[in-house]
């Protein structure tokens, strides 16, 4: 199995285990980094810490930075991905508290930890590290558009924060369980923290973004699969450019469209209705065929996390009947997910 992309600078070895910082967000979708680490790297997380008044929780033990350090934590990870990737002033006391308690800070925001004067001075005085994983490698090329060997799957979404990363991780794990040589390729900060390397696509200068996607999934054995974490949505009013660059540069042979059952409007953009699954499939195939004319859609990953088991089963069956293709919630596994995996590998 391939385990590294030689062309990419991997994230430096990160100090573990982690305390997860939730900031002061009230929308669970903006805490997707914390939830992703809890679900896919839970053995590296000791607990959570938040500003006063925060209404969301990961279910991990609530503790202060000093308590986390006392049981072995070595760093606090900013587990929030808010619009614009900001680090507001209201978070600084908590971040300074972590440094003063003996923890390094790990950030995945657009805002760089080291650019904040108070954090930079405190880290230097205390001998602590400020680590930003949303930093693309230097010397990225313009995309060549040349075909590469190996097989590729890209998760594509109707919106942000609805399951593209979880779907890619679940599919890569399912491929390997079947004896298929497969790697998860991370394209965002949470995926990079989980995988230990990758490409922060939304931090790449636009002219080089498709080239960065090419580097993320290089030439491989013809039987090898790269399962690539999607970003944003081709229909998003703000982030469509990142999604298109990733689609063109990754040149997927297969796409899986991800959608959250019941979501009607773009997250944070209530005046923009969500595109339909059918529209998303059509758009992705038309645009993706520019760099891979053989692109196909294997099925749909339906996020049913807000439904009970019976309602989820009905929603999956109804969507599958309407679309005429496999539909599954990868986090529920079962026969529906097995059929989706079959379709991906067909």
* Cα–Cα distance measured from residue 7 to residue 145, given in angstroms and rounded to the nearest whole number: 17
- What number is the average pLDDT over the span 261-267? 95
Same domain as 204, residue 128: no
Residue 110 sits in a domain whose CATH number is 3.40.50.720
* Cα–Cα distance measured from residue 231 to residue 156, given in angstroms and rounded to the nearest whole number: 7
Domain boundary among 132, 165, 190: 132
The pLDDT score that the predictor gives to residue 46 is: 97
Q: What is the pLDDT of residues 97-147, one digit of tens each?
A: 999 999 999 998 888 999 999 999 999 999 999 999 988 999 999 999 999
Same domain as 24, residue 166: no
In this structure, the number of other CB atoms found within 10 A of the CB of residue 337 comes to 23
Of the pLDDT bands very low, low, confident and very high (cuts 50, 70, 90), residue 184 is very high
Q: What is the pLDDT of residues 171-182, one digit of tens each?
A: 999 999 999 999
- What number is the average pLDDT over the span 250-278? 96
Question: In 17-163, which residue ranges form alpha helices assigned H by DSSP?
Answer: 32-40, 65-70, 92-100, 117-126
The whole-chain average pLDDT of the chain stands at 93
Please check whether residue 304 is in contact with residue 329, taking contact to mean a CB–CB distance below 8 angstroms.
yes
The pLDDT score that the predictor gives to residue 105 is: 97
Of the pLDDT bands very low, low, confident and very high (cuts 50, 70, 90), residue 5 is very low
Residue 59: both structure tokens together: 């279910």
Q: Is 326 within the bounds of a domain?
A: yes
Tell whether pTM > 0.85: yes
The pLDDT score that the predictor gives to residue 2 is: 41
Parallel, antiparallel or unpaired: strands 225-228 and 151-157: parallel
The pLDDT score that the predictor gives to residue 3 is: 38
**Rounded to an integer, what is the distance from CA 109 to the centroid of its chain?**
13
Above 80 in pLDDT, residue 84? no
Of the pLDDT bands very low, low, confident and very high (cuts 50, 70, 90), residue 28 is confident
Same domain as 296, residue 155: yes
- What number is the average pLDDT over the span 288-312? 97
CA 28, 32, 34, 37 dihedral sign is positive
Domain boundary among 81, 97, 132: 132
The pLDDT score that the predictor gives to residue 8 is: 54
Contacts 24+ apart (CB under 8 A), 290-294: 290/248, 291/145, 291/247, 291/248, 291/249, 291/251, 292/147, 292/251, 292/252, 292/253, 294/253
Above 90 in pLDDT, residue 236? yes
Q: Is 126 within the bounds of a domain?
A: yes
Q: Is 5 within the bounds of a domain?
A: no
Query: Which domain range does residue 66 map to?
Result: 18-132
Edge-first strand order for the sheet with 45-49 is 45-49, 18-21, 75-78, 104-107, 130-132
The pLDDT score that the predictor gives to residue 12 is: 60
Of the pLDDT bands very low, low, confident and very high (cuts 50, 70, 90), residue 7 is very low
Of the pLDDT bands very low, low, confident and very high (cuts 50, 70, 90), residue 196 is confident
């Amino acid at each position: 199995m391939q385990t590294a992309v030689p062309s990419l600078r991997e994230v430096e070895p990160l100090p573990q285990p982690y305390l997860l910082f939730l900031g002061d967000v009230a929308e669970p979708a903006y805490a997707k980094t914390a939830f992703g680490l809890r679900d896919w790297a839970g053995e590296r997380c000791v607990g959570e810490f938040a500003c006063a008044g925060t209404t969301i929780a990961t279910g991990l033990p609530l503790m202060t930075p000093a308590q986390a350090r006392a049981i072995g934590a070595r760093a606090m990870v900013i587990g929030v991905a808010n619009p614009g990737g900001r680090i507001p002033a209201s978070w600084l006391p908590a971040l300074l508290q972590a440094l003063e308690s003996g923890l390094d800070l790990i950030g995945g925001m657009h805002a760089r930890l080291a650019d904040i004067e108070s954090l930079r001075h405190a880290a230097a005085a205390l001998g602590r590290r400020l680590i930003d994983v949303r930093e693309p490698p230097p010397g990225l090329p313009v995309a060549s558009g040349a075909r590469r060997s190996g097989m590729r799957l890209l998760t594509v979404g109707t919106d942000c924060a609805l399951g593209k990363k979880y779907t890619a991780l679940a599919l890569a794990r399912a491929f390997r369980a079947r004896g298929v040589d497969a790697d998860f390729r991370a394209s965002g900060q949470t995926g990079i923290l989980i995988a230990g390397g990758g490409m922060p696509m939304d931090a790449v200068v636009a002219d080089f973004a498709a080239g960065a996607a090419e580097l993320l999934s290089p030439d491989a054995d013809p039987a090898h699969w790269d399962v690539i974490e999607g970003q944003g949505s081709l229909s998003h009013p703000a982030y469509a450019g990142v999604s298109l660059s990733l689609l063109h540069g990754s040149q997927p042979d297969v796409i899986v469209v991800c959608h959250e059952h019941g979501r009607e409007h773009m997250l944070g953009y209530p005046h923009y209705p969500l595109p339909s699954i059918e529209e998303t499939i059509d758009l992705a195939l038309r645009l993706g065929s520019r760099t891979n004319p053989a692109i196909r859609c294997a099925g749909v990953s339906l996020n049913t996390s807000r439904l009970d088991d019976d309602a989820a089963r009905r929603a999956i069956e109804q969507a599958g009947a309407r679309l005429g293709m496999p539909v599954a919630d990868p986090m529920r596994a079962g026969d529906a997910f097995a059929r989706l995996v079959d379709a991906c590998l067909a």
